[in-house]
C-alpha cells in the first residue's frame, strides 16, 4: 500500500483580485491573506465584519462603519487589540499600499481558535483582519443605467430572534438560496421575506420603495445598512419624506420607483420585480436625485476621510 | 509620511492541533491548511460539511456521513470533482498520514470564489477540502462521567424557512449566543428553542429525553444528526421505544433521563437543566445502556470502515 506525501508547503492554484490585506501584524498581498480552516470564523461563521468603500482616494462615512463594527464586536463578546484610531490606520494602510483609489475595504473579526481546538468560544483568541480590493458593485454598469431585474423568493431572512441583524454577519445561506431562486426565474438578484411575509432585504442590500414622492424601507429583521442610513440623511437634505415600516410585495410591485442600497454600488435602480415593470421601467426622478446627491457627497469633507498614498503608487 | 512594507509571505504565529488536511490536490500539515479570506465559504458562510469520526483506526458509519454531505452539495448546487469513492480515499489518506487512531474528520465544500471577486455564486469554483485532527468531544471525561449541566437559552434556532437544517452548515451565531447565555447562568452548554418555543438542539448536538423507559427527540428545525439516527438504530436493537416530536422545556426538566448526541462525543448524559436535577442526578440506566452499545458497535464490521496506516506511523 502506498500513501501520498505531505507537501512541505501549500501551493495555491487560485487567482485573486489585486489588493492588500492585514493579518497578524503583517501587510500581505491579497493572495497571501488566508485563515486556517480551523478558525471558528470559518467553521462556525462566528465572526462580524464591516465593509466601507473608498472613492477617489477617500473613505466614505468611515465613522459610521467603525461604530457598527465595534458595536458588533461587543455584542459577540469579542475583543481586538486595536482601538478605532488604530483600525483606521490599518484600513488606510491597506488602501494606500494597494494603490486603489476606488476600493472595497473590509474589516473582520473572527472568534479565532485555540491550539487545543477547544469548542469553548471563551478559550479562543479573537482575530482581526482587514483587506482592500478594487471597488465592487452589486449592479454592473448596464444594470445601473437601466435598473435591475429582481425576483422575490419565499425564503425567509434569518429572524432577529435567531441572529441579531444589527451584528453584521456572514450568515448568507438564506440570501444565496434567494439568489438561485431569482436566477431560476430569469431575474438578476433577489429580495427575500421577513417572518411576517413582508419584504426584508436582498443579498447585501436594503430596498426602498418610492410612492407619491415619499420613501419607505423595511425595518424589521434587516441589516441597518450604512447606505440605507445615508439615504435617510440625503432625504433630509433634499426635503424628501422617508419612513421605515412594513413593505408588502404588493407595495413593491405597485411602487412608482424602487431602488436598492449597498456600500457595494450605492443607490441602484430596480426596473422590474417578478417581471412586473416598476413605474415607467426607467430609473425614476426621485431615485436619480438621491443617487446624484449620494455621489456628490463623496467629495464633502464631513462624510469623507482622505487616504494618503505612497509616492509613485 | 512612511508606510509599512508588504511582507513577501505570511508568518503564522498561531498554534494548531496536529493533523493532516487535503486542499487543492495537496496533503498538508494542519497548520498549512488555510482558505483565502475572499472565499465565499468564509465571507458568506456559503458552505456545507460533514464530520465523521475514526475510533481505533476505523471510520464509524462513514456511509451515512457521505450521504448527507453529497445531499447537501446538491441542495446548495455545488459540485466537486470527486465521487464518493474518491472522497473516501481522501479522508482515509488524511487519517492515515495523521497517524491518529482516534480522529475527528471533516469534509467541507465551500462556494469558493472567482478571480474577479464576482458576487454571482454561479461564477465561483467550488472548493473541496478535508482534514483529520485528534478526536474531540463536546463533553470532557469528567462531564461524561457525571453528566453535563445544561441551560436553556431563549435564542431561537435558525428556522427551516430560512436555512434548510438538513444541509449541515456553519450558521452558528444562534448557538454561540446560546452558549454565552448558558455560561452566564453557570451552565456548561446550551439548548436553544425552535420557533414554537419547544427545545430544538444545542451547539453541535441533538437531545433525547427518556420518560418511562421510552425516548423522544425533537424533529422540527433540527439537524438530522448521524448519532441521533444511530440512537434510533440502537433502540431498535435494544427494543427501546423511540419517537420524534415536540419536546417542551417542562418535558425536558421533568424527564427521567436526558442525554445529548454528537459525532463529537457520542452519547453524553445530562445531569441538570437550568439547575434542575434530572432524575437521580446520575447518568441513568437507559442512557448507559445505549451508550455502551454505541461504543460496542464501533467494532462491528457493518458500521465501520477500517483505515490502513503507513508502517511506523
Distance from CA of A142 to the nearest CA of B (A): 16
Q: Where are the domains of chain A?
A: 20-134, 141-298
SS3 of residue A249 by DSSP: helix
Question: Could you tell me which of B52, B310, B311, B105 has the C-alpha nearest to residue A4?
Answer: B310
Task: Please report, in angstroms and rounded to a whole number, the separation of the first and last CA atoms in chain A.
Answer: 55
Cα–Cα distances (Å) from A74 to A65, A184, B42, B87, B241, in that order, read: 14, 39, 21, 40, 46
Question: Across the interface, do B117 and A125 touch by the CB < 8 Å criterion?
Answer: no
Average pLDDT value for chain B: 97
User: Each residue's pLDDT tens digit in chain A (313 positions)?
Assistant: 799 999 999 999 999 999 999 999 999 999 999 999 999 999 999 999 999 999 999 999 999 999 999 999 999 999 999 999 999 999 999 999 999 999 999 999 999 998 888 999 999 999 999 999 999 999 999 999 999 999 999 999 999 999 999 999 999 999 999 999 999 999 999 999 999 999 999 999 999 999 999 999 999 999 999 999 999 999 999 999 999 999 999 999 999 999 999 999 999 999 999 999 999 999 999 999 999 999 999 999 999 999 999 998 8
With a CB cutoff of 8 Å and minimum separation 6, the contacts of B148 are B138, B139, B188, B189, B260, B268, B269, B270, B271
pLDDT score for A146: 98
**Cell numbers standing for residue A139:** 449592479
Tell me whether residue B172 is exposed, middle or buried, using C-beta atoms within 10 angstroms of its C-beta: 0 to 12, 13 to 18, 19 or more: buried
Residues in chain A closer than 8 A to B91 (CB atoms): none
Question: Could you tell me which of B169, B257, B184, B185 has the C-alpha nearest to residue B217?
Answer: B257
Residues in chain B closer than 8 A to A38 (CB atoms): 16-17, 30, 33, 131, 133
* DSSP conformational letter for B205: B
Q: Which CATH superfamily is domain B141-298 in?
A: D-amino Acid Aminotransferase, subunit A, domain 2 (3.20.10.10)
- Percentage of chain B exceeding pLDDT 90: 97
ipTM of predicted assembly, 2 dp: 0.97
Q: Are B27 and B97 in contact (CB under 8 A)?
A: yes
Task: Please report, in angstroms and rounded to a whole number, the separation of the first and last CA atoms in chain B.
Answer: 55
Distance from CA of B231 to the nearest CA of A (A): 23
Nearest-Cα residue of chain A relative to residue B104? A117
C-alpha to C-alpha distance for A271 and A268, rounded to whole angstroms: 10
Closest partner residue to A46 (CB to CB) among B6, B162, B176 is B176
Question: Could you tell me which of B162, B113, B185, B194 has the C-alpha nearest to residue A165?
Answer: B162
Q: What proportions of chain A, in percent to the nearest 5, are helix, strand and coil?
A: 30, 30, 40
- Residues paired with residue B27 on neighbouring β-strands, in sequence order: A6, B22
Closest partner residue to A17 (CB to CB) among B42, B116, B170 is B116
Distance from CA of B36 to the nearest CA of A (A): 4
C-alpha to C-alpha distance for A156 and A197, rounded to whole angstroms: 8
Q: Within its chain, how far is the Cα of B159 from the centroid?
A: 18
pLDDT at B302 over 90: yes
The CATH number of the structural domain formed by B20-134 is 3.30.470.10
C-alpha to C-alpha distance for B122 and B126, rounded to whole angstroms: 9
Residues in chain B closer than 8 A to A104 (CB atoms): 117
Residues in chain B closer than 8 A to A28 (CB atoms): 6-7, 10
B residues 221-250 near A, CB within 8 Å?
Answer: none
B residues 271-310 near A, CB within 8 Å?
Answer: 308, 310
Write down the pTM of the prediction.
0.97
Nearest-Cα residue of chain A relative to residue B50? A43
Q: State pLDDT tens for residues B200-229.
A: 999 999 999 999 999 999 999 999 999 999
Question: Across the interface, do A162 and B157 touch by the CB < 8 Å criterion?
Answer: yes
Q: Are B77 and B164 in contact (CB under 8 A)?
A: no
Distance from CA of B148 to the nearest CA of A (A): 14
The enclosing H or E element of B236 equals helix B226-238
Degrees to nearest 5, angle at CA B221 with B216 and B224: 65
Q: Are A75 and A198 in contact (CB under 8 A)?
A: no
Going by their DSSP bridges, the two strands B20-23 and B125-134 should be labelled as antiparallel
The enclosing H or E element of B74 equals helix B62-75
List helix spans (H) across A76-172.
84-98, 141-146
Identify the residue with better confidence: A268 or B114: A268
pLDDT score for A1: 78
Going by their DSSP bridges, the two strands A148-156 and A189-193 should be labelled as parallel
pLDDT score for B313: 81
pLDDT at B275 over 80: yes
Going by their DSSP bridges, the two strands B148-156 and B266-273 should be labelled as parallel
Distance from CA of B74 to the nearest CA of A (A): 12
Nearest-Cα residue of chain A relative to residue B44? A170
- Residues paired with residue B110 on neighbouring β-strands, in sequence order: B47, B127
Residues in chain B closer than 8 A to A7 (CB atoms): 26-28, 32
Tell whether A122 is within 8 A of chain B (Cβ). yes
With a CB cutoff of 8 Å and minimum separation 6, the contacts of B243 are B214, B215, B216
Amino acid at each position: 500500500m502506498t500513501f501520498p506525501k505531505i507537501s512541505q508547503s501549500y501551493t495555491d492554484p487560485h487567482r485573486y483580485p489585486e489588493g492588500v490585506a492585514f493579518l497578524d501584524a503583517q501587510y500581505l498581498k491579497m493572495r497571501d491573506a488566508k485563515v486556517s480552516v480551523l478558525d471558528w470564523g470559518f467553521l462556525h461563521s462566528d465572526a462580524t465584519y464591516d465593509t466601507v468603500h473608498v472613492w477617489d482616494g477617500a473613505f466614505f462615512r468611515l465613522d459610521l462603519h467603525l461604530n457598527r463594527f465595534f458595536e458588533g464586536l461587543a455584542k459577540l463578546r469579542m475583543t481586538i487589540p486595536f482601538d478605532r484610531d488604530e483600525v483606521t490606520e490599518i484600513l488606510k494602510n491597506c488602501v494606500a499600499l494597494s494603490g486603489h483609489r476606488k476600493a472595497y475595504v473590509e474589516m473582520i473579526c473572527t472568534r479565532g481558535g485555540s491550539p487545543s481546538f477547544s469548542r469553548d468560544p471563551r478559550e479562543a483568541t479573537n482575530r482581526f483582519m482587514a483587506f482592500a480590493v478594487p471597488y465592487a458593485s452589486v449592479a454592473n454598469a448596464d444594470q445601473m443605467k437601466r435598473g435591475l431585474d429582481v425576483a422575490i423568493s419565499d425564503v425567509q431572512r434569518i429572524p432577529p430572534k435567531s441572529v441579531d441583524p444589527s451584528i453584521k454577519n456572514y450568515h448568507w445561506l438564506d440570501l444565496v438560496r434567494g439568489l438561485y431562486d431569482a436566477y431560476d426565474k430569469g431575474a438578476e438578484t433577489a429580495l427575500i421575506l421577513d417572518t411576517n411575509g413582508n419584504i426584508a432585504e436582498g443579498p447585501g442590500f436594503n430596498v426602498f420603495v418610492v410612492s407619491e414622492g415619499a420613501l419607505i424601507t423595511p425595518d424589521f429583521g434587516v441589516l441597518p445598512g450604512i447606505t440605507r442610513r445615508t439615504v435617510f440623511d440625503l432625504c433630509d437634505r433634499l426635503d424628501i419624506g422617508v419612513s421605515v415600516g412594513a413593505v408588502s410585495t404588493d407595495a413593491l410591485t405597485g411602487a412608482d420607483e424602487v431602488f436598492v442600497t449597498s456600500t457595494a454600488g450605492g443607490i441602484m435602480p430596480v426596473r422590474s420585480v417578478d417581471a412586473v415593470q416598476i413605474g415607467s421601467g426607467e430609473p425614476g426622478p426621485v431615485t436619480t436625485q438621491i443617487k446624484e446627491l449620494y455621489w456628490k457627497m463623496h467629495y464633502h469633507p464631513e462624510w469623507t476621510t482622505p487616504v494618503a498614498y505612497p509616492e509613485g503608487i
